[in-house]
Structure 1
Amino acid sequence: MKPETYDAIILGAGAAGMMCAAVAGQRGKRVLLIDHADEPGKKILISGGGRCNFTNIHTAPDRYLSANPHFAKSALGRYTAADFIALVDGYGIAWHEKTLGQLFCDGSAKQIVAMLLEECAKGGVAVALGEAASVEHGDGQYRVTYGTRTASAPALVVATGGPAIPQIGATGFAYDLARRFGLKVVEPRPALVPLTLGGDETLFRALSGVATEVVARAGKAAFREAALFTHRGLSGPAILQVSSYWRHGESVGIDFLPSLSPDWLLAAKRNRPRTTLAAALDNHIPARLAETLADGIGIEGELHACTDKALDAAARKLADWRFFPNGTEGFAKAEVTAGGIATAGLSSQTMEARTVPGLYAIGEAVDVTGWLGGYNFQWAWASGWAAGMALSRT
């Protein structure tokens, strides 16, 4: 049977793939969008508690991790958060800003998926869902077999993401395909993921459900948001953020009292000499956490009985409590994948492989990982737009 012919075939009907397909299709290209899932945009649908944290107004290249920290600048600079907001507004989708520039739908994430599908429809994009694809390449054409059909095109876009959240069908397909074409892959790892504690630190698991605002640090990165103790270790926004920077064997530092001055305990001793450390902490953090930290520091009795040196040491420990995670909760609990197709082999302008004409990689499949809070969706929109524009010029 003769293959169906297209200008471009896009593998992956997620955020980046749909954006790329819509842009290229609306500029006159015949586009086929394929996904092995039975519905498009599965990660969009579950994000933000079903309301989709679709972008962040504070998007900037320094809020992304990559072996090449400059790679994302071009795409992010040419398709901005304001551009996507304008698209959302054009469809009359109501939204609101939560903390730290995070934008969510007032209604449902389904509205974002419906918008992207409508954008694809405007461009006459052919969509094939529930079809696993296999790829062959020769004579300048990419031949993709999906189900009982075969299609060919001079351009192939890899938008299948990474292995984070395998329960919705996420796999490492993009990396296997990239390696086949000689592209390097930065070792994938879970990112924006809870950290697990073991050994002596398992006592903190007894605090499961307790949350408090902290400053969490890993390497040179620091985030002030909530931390949550779980039955396995540490989670919450602050922990998810630093997890992307954390490496096995390293520590995570937690400032449990980021709003207090370094001499707050000495002041407490002067003002309330008969109080205990646990009681002094209880004024600022949850009682169960206060008791656990006080026990861990080992200061018993009333503050007036403690030396200033001991209290100063306690305050410093509380401002930089070191945890040594023994791992993460893995791809099953990770919001995104860090690592991926190496940016050294891609054009930052077009997302096309430098050594394989017509092969593009976008979105989470690429070694670009954003902070928590809409940054990864903005990378999907921007990289998908960049590739779509490049396709429309070929």
Structure 2
Amino acid sequence: MGLKDSFQFWAIGQFLNTVIHSPEQAIPDRLEADKRLDLLGRLAVLRAGLSGLISGLIVVGVAFLLSDWEGASGLSGLSFILILTIASSLTTVFELMFLYRDSLSTAARMAKILDIPQSELEQVDLENSISHWLIHAALGAPGFHITMFGIDPLARIGKVGMLIRKTLKKFGVFAGASMFKLILRRMWVRLLGRVATRAVIEIVQLPVFIVLNMLGMHTMMKDMRSRLVGHEFTPQLFGHAFPEGLDSIEPGLLSALHAGMVEQITVARFIHPNQIRVLDLLGPVPSETHVPTETQLRRANRFSMAVFSMSGKNSLRCRRFLRDLEQQLGSEEGRRVKQEIDDAIHDLTPLSRPWN
């Protein structure tokens, strides 16, 4: 077993252990459950800001210590940079470890409130593993890039795009929050050149990194909540969109639904866990393709917009895809569908308007 797999299984074990020993109780009332989930998310965001403040103050303390320490007078500028880099690296590592652990712990408490069955939380196969999905969310991964259900998310990227992607992936560490902080801090250090000024600059940076931490955790909490709520909401979405039942869906509509899923996944270039859940319930791709009627295509487009609205990042390509769907549905209908899904995920509001 590789290091990556070992880490994932360790993280899954920690997540399940937190679920078992969590003081939270399942809340059947959706309004009260929503309030509790909102509170947990806000507290996680505040803790993220606090961790950014503490880690920044530690680096500031080291910088001021060097500026006042008599023994530091003989150190070269390069030595100062090295000491501050080590201090910044260590504090950032511990800060990120705390953020990852805290986000998974918060997600486990949310799962307990939503009363997701233990048997479902313990599943380890990727198609149904909530634990895997949450760990990927904690690490900032929007979804999976592997081929699943016969759909390759990277099918449209091309050879040149794939080469660029592999190159960027090798240097992906430079896009990480920790490396971003280190580079930014060291740039200021090299430009200004004096230890006392370095300490002042560290103080000036503090609000920036606190806000970055809070924004990052807020986004992470939204994605984790989407993955948790989406797990129980997706069957309800099917029931609302297709009251005739999955077994009675017409061939033309089924073909349009599968085509819509392929389109949105290849546009986003990853498979979001909520899309995995949809594909699992939708069943295999029909062996024979049928041309949908205008009504069937409209129903499929509405469903595609609903699924896409609860499935991850909103890149430029994704926004274009949503605009195309809105043009086919009508701007008012598209806006209402997106709002209904947002309310269902983030306010636990049940779908009530008929989708005719």
TM-score range, shorter chain: under 0.3
In the superposition, the TM-score normalised over structure 2's length comes to: 0.22
In the superposition, the TM-score normalised over structure 1's length comes to: 0.20
Q: Which has the higher strand share?
A: 1
